[in-house]
Structure 1
Amino acid sequence: MPANDLRRVLARLRDCLAHSDPRAALANTVALVVASNQPFYPLYVYWAVSPTIWPTYVSFLSTPFFLAVPWLMRRSTLLGRATLLFAGIGNTLVCAIALGRSSGVDVFLIPCLVLALLLFRRSERWLGFAFAALAAVVYLAPDGIIGTPGHLYAANEYAALQRLNFISAASLTGLVALLFANILEDKSPSR
């Protein structure tokens, strides 16, 4: 790709992510990072866990919701931020059903919980607490509700899947923390 085309693409991406509300810009960035990484999840599972990757395809069900966040954010920042959390918590639940609790996929509720507590203003804090409670309900849902996954992996494959999910969720949580730290730094007085 020629340099000018790449600059144009990057400029369009910056415009898509930009928002006058720093929390909305943070949510836009997280939504597009997640959506852009979803196509690679089956490949990561293939390389690190097992050639049986078809259960991971359910993660694509949430991709349109993540991609819609910046568009929704232009209409209502509250709706955009709520959509990001519904997509994240919903994706985690669907993946837990498809891959099973032993996959450790529920670790993705941690970045959802962090986002729930950071994305909402003081006047909206009740909504953040509601999303945090929803994440806790999904985590605490009895195994009977989650059910048996469509494919059972071997013990060593589940261990590898847990590592993969932990690294991914920890990286996403770290990104959220870094983005929020940038917001705080921008607001703090210079020294």
Structure 2
Amino acid sequence: MDGLRRLWRRLAAYTAHDDPMASAANWIALVVAWNQPFYPLYLWGAVGTDKIAPSFLTFFSTPFFLAVPAVAKRHPLAARVMLALTGVANGIVSTKAFGVGSGVEIFLLPCALIGAALFRPSERAIGLVVIALSAAAHFIPARFFGEPLAGYTAADNSAMIGVNAVSAATLTVFIGLLLSGALANSEQRGGQAPRRK
């Protein structure tokens, strides 16, 4: 139990930031990184062990998600942009890995939500770029991705759609809850990011 408390204190210290928006981005990044190793297990339950190998490609994004809080210590805005772009890139890689029939591109919706809500009015242009990139990634033609990296059947695709829909919905709700808290904190500060000393 003491080990868990120490781990929690370290995570809380790593994600802590005076800027509520940066703190929210830090937690989103770490929760995504924490859940990535479990994704192959979800797929194992959905499509079997012989078709989960493509899921390991998603681990290329894990170091970038884990680095978001470290970047935020020096450049909070850059960290928020990094979170969004890593999510979009991971969505593109995942669509190539599993194919458009898997429904994995639904994870671009939380990326668009980050663009819509994690940037202040003075940063609106950046948020709109994130939203545009999320939409553009969603509308990449299927022929660009080619065949998925495993022989997924229609039944496999249906199972993956279910897994991805639940996962993306859970992530979206989590992001919404974090951002509502960040908004409340930001309003208490007068809507301004803390000044860097």
After TM superposition, the score normalised by the length of structure 1 is 0.94
- Does 2:13 match 1:15? yes
- The answer to whether the Cα contact below 8 Å between 2:20 and 2:185 also exists between their aligned partners in 1 is no
Name whichever of 48-57 and 111-120 sits farther off. Answer: 48-57
Counterpart of 1:109 in structure 2: which amino acid? L
Q: Which residue of 2 aligns with 1:81?
A: 80
- The answer to whether the Cα contact below 8 Å between 2:116 and 2:128 also exists between their aligned partners in 1 is yes
Deviation per residue, 1:79-109 (Å, 9 max, x gap): 1001101110000000001110001000000
Q: Identity rate of aligned residues, in percent?
A: 43
Match of 1:45 among 43, 52, 74: 43
CA distance in 2, matches of 1:141, 1:48: 26
Q: Which residue of 1 aligns with 2:183?
A: 184
Evaluate the alpha carbon distance shift between residue 178 and residue 37 of structure 1 in structure 2; reply closer, same or farther with a 3 A threshold. same
- The answer to whether the Cα contact below 8 Å between 2:29 and 2:65 also exists between their aligned partners in 1 is yes
CA distance in 2, matches of 1:38, 1:18: 22
**Deviation of 1:152 (Å):** 2.3
Q: Which residue of 1 aligns with 2:54?
A: 55
**Deviation of 1:76 (Å):** 0.1
- Does 2:176 match 1:169? no
Counterpart of 1:180 in structure 2: which amino acid? L
Evaluate the alpha carbon distance shift between residue 119 and residue 135 of structure 1 in structure 2; reply closer, same or farther with a 3 A threshold. same
CA distance in 2, matches of 1:139, 1:33: 23
CA distance in 1, matches of 2:121, 2:20: 15
Name whichever of 36-45 and 48-57 sits farther off. Answer: 48-57
DSSP-derived class of the 2:183 partner: helix
Q: Provide the aligned length of Structure 1 versus Structure 2.
A: 187
**Deviation of 1:78 (Å):** 1.1
- Show the 5 A alignment for 1:109-128: 109-128=108-127
- The answer to whether the Cα contact below 8 Å between 2:55 and 2:97 also exists between their aligned partners in 1 is yes
**Deviation of 1:50 (Å):** 2.3
CA distance in 2, matches of 1:80, 1:92: 18
CA distance in 2, matches of 1:62, 1:73: 17
CA distance in 2, matches of 1:124, 1:184: 15
DSSP-derived class of the 2:115 partner: helix
**Deviation of 1:135 (Å):** 0.6
Q: Which residue of 2 aligns with 1:25?
A: 23
Counterpart of 1:63 in structure 2: which amino acid? T
More contact order relative to length (CA 8 Å, sep ≥ 6): 2
Q: RMSD of the TM alignment (CA)?
A: 1.3
**Deviation of 1:7 (Å):** 1.8
**Deviation of 1:187 (Å):** 5.6
**Deviation of 1:154 (Å):** 1.3
Q: Which residue of 2 aligns with 1:131?
A: 130
Counterpart of 1:111 in structure 2: which amino acid? P
